[in-house]
Amino acid sequence: MAKKLIEIKNIVKRFDNQVVLKGINLDINENEFVTLLGPSGCGKTTLLRIIAGFLEPDEGNVFLDGEDIATVPAYKRDVNTVFQHYALFPHLDVYDNIAFGLAIKKQPKDIIHQKVMRMISLVGLEGFEHRDINAMSGGQQQRVAIARALVNEPQVLLLDESLSALDKNLRKEMQLELKEIQREVGITFIFVTHDQEEALTMSDKIVIMRDGMIEQVGSPLEVYNTPVNEYCAKFIGDSNIIDGTMKKDRLVSFDDADYVCEDYGFAENEPVDIVIRPEDIDIVPRNRGLLNGEVKSVLFKGVHYEIVAETSSGTSKTVIMHVTGEHDVVNAEAHERMSATSFSMDVEDVKDITDAEIIARANAQAWNDDEEDVSIPNVNYDLKEDEGVYDCTFETAAGTKITIKINVVKPVSVEDAGNEESIQAFNFTKSVDEIKESVALDTDLIRWADAYAWSTEDNSQVEIWDVKYDFDDENITEGDYPITFSTQGRELKLETTDHHEVGERVGLEWNPEDIHVMRKMN
Amino acid sequence: MIIVPMLMIVLYAFTVQGNSVLTLTITFDNFARFFSDPIFPGVLWKSLKMALITTIICIAIGYPTAYIMARQKPKSQGLTVLLVTLPMWINMLVRTYAWKGILGRLGVPGEISVYVGMVYNFLPFMILQIYTALSKIDASLITAAHDLGADEKQTFLRVTLPLSLSGVVSGITLVFLPAVSSFFIPKLLGGGQYVLIGNLIEDYFVSTGDWNFGSAISLIMAVIILISMYITRKLDKDVKEK
């Protein structure tokens, strides 16, 4: 049984009016590599500085070896820190930097020499003893900082984002080295980072923090395999997180299907978050797995492929696009020409419509042989506040006439209870030219149809993920065309070493123990 | 423009009075005269001593002041820097006359008055140099020193002080060198009793009209300044290398 070394009890810390730590309780054992993991601003560095003694907590206690050290100043604590930017003394060389702590304690010169040289060889800096600190590379400075702290033989070594200033390769190397050093000196390391990979590689215990609170404490394997909630699951590793319902013990349901799992202890029909790690999903022939899907994208990642498969489609709505041509009317006697386009309008707009607005919407124009504009004084129509197609005639004073169709439409919407989404769109009318001139047709179609999707749960907007149509916009002719707007369906990310084609229809499968069910976060 | 007046001084220093372009007599007499008469080296020594003491007083007052300034909140730091530099906005001569009035009325003896005037004039330079060096020290170094077991005093002696020495050295350059050759502060506040090398040079140029001897003294001064600059440079380098 590991011996408890540090006991953190109900630590609260406020800066101005902001509560940075909201009652932290944590036990750290002897000879343990503990990582405080969380995004910036979660309070992890504040907690570290409280342990180091640079900050005093507003409430709570820190016990080191059973002794309350909350009010012991930093320089009297048996704890040393490796700072984020190392904070090496620029006026001292490598040797004197490392010897600093021992010289402060007035240890005999020969003992200092012995200890410093041992540290220098531990961190692999032999031959650099009298090098100027500023002439050292980032990795070397890092080693000096570690040696400078460790030479004091503290009970605990604190490391504040100590690897973040190094480049990627060096960081990986230092991760291994740090773990090696920790094993060799056999003391407790408390490491602060926002890098989940660092945490997984080095730690014996990972502490996931959020907003001044601890979300989960566990071994790397525990936090990876059994995250307590969506936050922890997202923070550690790549995962599919799915809204679902716990039907009963060991049976969870999502997207209208039930799946066997190994989790229990939830209320009946409790809404839950489900995690399935990408590497736990296997591709099998269609209809042989737990569910079917279609390969949406394939990314080659070196050893494996990262595949996204859609297992259920989103909510969709099909509308009709009326495509009209634009016809000039020529009145040779009056030397006038006229043009106008049919258009669609919302039923609700009918009662407030004016002649000017109809002219504008129809883009009605009249001009004479000299290319001068001619006014259109007569607009004749008979619109009803009901869906339908109505004629509308524009006429100039000289009697030039053109008739178009006004398509009065209602928004059509579809509600999908399963996806808890609604989608709405209008039928609409566009001219051939407008379609040909569009540079981003999908976006324009969404705008023209006024397509909008929202969540029935909280009314928040849902992105229109896909616009499907079956025409060639370069060579479109007059006529009616269906257009389908849909939201994103269920997409599962998975990793496999086999190659699959985009569009391939596959079956997906996993083992019951690969589903992990979590309580919803509040 | 820079070289010509200097060449003239060198020329004057190595010639005797009454030279014309035709009869140019090169001589070391002017220098011999300076060192043979015990009065002149005595004045030189007095000048150096006064400059040295002024510098030491400036460090003694300036360092703690700068240290306190650097530890203030950033907001009030700007104000104190302003306060320190404020006297520099007023003409040096006017400031010195003001001191003459105050000290004369209080009956302060001439030598002390000279020191008061000197320190008052040169202190801001010392403070600003040290303050700049102190405020450049990364706060995390102080934290690191505490972390490694150093209390306030040890942290100051082993981290803060060594890292601020470069400021002290440049402060010395800015105080000592002008102090050696300053003439009107001693003249004004010393009440004519206090003759320094700067006064001497002024005398020979302005009153006696012996430009040759005046130039020789200036050259000797220049050499001394060069030597002291060399020493401070070396000091500065040593500090930085350490």
Inter-chain CB proximity B144 and A74 less than 8 Å: no
Inter-chain CB proximity A101 and B149 less than 8 Å: yes
Measured between alpha carbons, how far is B124 from B84 in angstroms, rounded to an integer?
6
Chain position carrying tokens 């086999």: A498
CA distances from A3 to A8, A31, A62 (A): 15, 9, 16
- The angle, 0 to 180 degrees and rounded to 10, between the axes of the packed helices B211-241 and B39-70 is 40
- Does A35 touch chain B if contact means CB atoms closer than 8 Å? no
Inter-chain CB proximity B147 and A90 less than 8 Å: no
CA distances from A357 to A2, A323, A351, A401, A431 (A): 81, 21, 12, 18, 18
Asked if A386 and A408 touch (Cβ cutoff 8 Å), the reply is yes
- Does A91 touch chain B if contact means CB atoms closer than 8 Å? yes
Whether the complex's predicted ipTM is more than 0.90 is answered with no
B169 to chain A nearest CA, in Å? Answer: 15
| Closest-approach residue (CA) in chain B for A130 | B242
Chain position carrying tokens 């386009």: A341
Q: Kindly list the residues of chain B whose beta carbon comes within 8 Å of any beta carbon in chain A.
A: 138, 140-141, 143-151, 154, 158-159, 162-163, 239, 242
B161 to chain A nearest CA, in Å? Answer: 10
Secondary structure, 3-state, A221-262: HHHHHCCCCHHHHHHCCCCEEEEEEEEECCEEEECCEEEECC
- Does A76 touch chain B if contact means CB atoms closer than 8 Å? yes
User: Contacts of residue A99 in chain B, CB cutoff 8 Å?
Assistant: none
Inter-chain CB proximity B147 and A104 less than 8 Å: no
Residue A234, sorted as left (phi over 0), alpha (psi -120 to 50) or beta, turns out to be alpha
User: Contacts of residue B144 in chain A, CB cutoff 8 Å?
Assistant: 81, 83, 87-89
Question: Which residues have CB under 8 Å from A313's CB, separation 6+?
Answer: A486, A489
CA B188 to chain CA centroid, Å, is: 17
Q: Which pLDDT tens digits describe chain A residue by residue (522 residues)?
A: 578 899 999 999 999 888 999 999 999 999 999 999 999 889 999 999 999 999 999 999 999 988 898 778 888 888 999 998 889 999 999 999 999 999 999 999 999 999 999 999 988 888 998 999 988 988 899 899 999 999 999 999 999 988 887 888 888 888 888 898 898 888 999 999 998 888 898 999 999 999 999 999 999 999 998 899 989 988 887 888 888 899 989 999 888 889 999 888 888 889 999 999 998 999 999 888 888 888 988 999 888 899 988 887 778 888 888 888 766 788 888 888 888 888 888 888 888 888 888 888 888 888 888 888 888 888 888 888 888 888 888 888 888 888 888 888 887 777 776 677 888 888 888 888 888 888 888 888 888 888 888 888 788 888 887 888 888 888 888 888 888 888 888 888 999 888 888 888 899 999 998 899 998 887
Structure tokens, A287: 């209809």
CA pseudo-torsion sign A253, A258, A262, A264: positive
Chain position carrying tokens 């031959």: A127
Residues facing A461 on adjacent strands: A454
What three-state secondary structure class fits A448? helix
| Closest-approach residue (CA) in chain A for B148 | A101
CA A103 to chain CA centroid, Å, is: 49
Instruction: Using 70 as the pLDDT threshold, list the residues of chain B that sit under it.
Output: 17-24, 192-193, 239-242
Inter-chain CB proximity B147 and A85 less than 8 Å: no
Best mutation site among A93, A100, A150 for testing chain B: the one with the most B CBs within 10 Å? A100
Nearest to A74 among B146, B159, B163 (CB): B146
User: Contacts of residue A53 in chain B, CB cutoff 8 Å?
Assistant: 146
Nearest-5° Cα angle at A453, A450 to A456 = 140
User: Contacts of residue A101 in chain B, CB cutoff 8 Å?
Assistant: 148-149
Strands A205-210 and A213-218: antiparallel
Strands A156-160 and A79-82: parallel
Q: Can you give the pLDDT at residue A467?
A: 85
Return the amino acid letter for A18: Q
B139 to chain A nearest CA, in Å? Answer: 9
Nearest to A105 among B141, B147, B149 (CB): B149
Alpha-carbon radius of gyration of chain A: 35
Q: Can you give the pLDDT at residue B214?
A: 82
Inter-chain CB proximity A75 and B159 less than 8 Å: no
